[in-house]
Amino acid sequence: MIKKILVAFDDSEASYRAFDFASELAEKFKAKLILLAIVRLPEPTTSLEMGAILDDAKEHYEMAFQELRDRTNPKGIDFVTSVEVGHPPEHIVALAERDHVDLIVMGRRGRTQVGRFILGSTSERVLRYAHCAVTVVK
C-alpha cells in the first residue's frame, strides 16, 4: 500500500507531469504527498549570495506550489512542501528514507539527442540509491 509519495519538483514541464501522476495516485490511495524542490548553488558562493539565492528560490517555488494547490484543491489532495539547498539526488534519497516514503515520483528531462535514450543523472542516481520504488514520468 502506498501511504507517502515524494515528488521531486524543479518547476519543469516534466515535474508538473510527475506531480499530476503522483496526485492521481495520492487520491486513489489516500496517500500523503510531499513536494521537494532542491536549489543548487553556484560554486563558489558567499553566504550573502546564498541567502539571496535561497530567498528567491523559496519565493519562486512557493508560487508554483500555490498553483499546484489550486489545481488539486477540488480533489481534496493536500501536500507538504520543502525547499532545500544541495545536491538533488542526495536530498531526494535522504528525505525519502527519513520520512519513510513508499514511492518517489520524478520527471525525466532529456535536453539533448543523447538525453532521449538515457535517463538524466538525477533520475539515474535516485533509481540506484533509493530504498523505495521510483517512478520516472516522461
- pLDDT (mean) for 104-128: 72
Domain ranges of the chain: 4-137
- Candidate from 31-35, 65-69, 71-75, 99-103 with smallest mean pLDDT: 71-75
Which residue, 75, 124, 102, 93, is CA-closest to 8? 93
How big is the chain by its Cα radius of gyration, in Å? 15
Q: Which pLDDT value is given to residue 48? A: 65
Span 17-69, pLDDT tens digits: 999 999 999 999 999 999 999 988 777 666 667 778 788 889 999 999 999 99
Confidence (pTM): 0.86
Q: Which pLDDT value is given to residue 68? A: 93
Q: Compute how many other C-beta atoms are within 10 angstroms of the C-beta atom of residue 3.
A: 13
Q: Which fold has domain 4-137?
A: Rossmann fold (3.40.50)
Q: Which pLDDT value is given to residue 106? A: 95
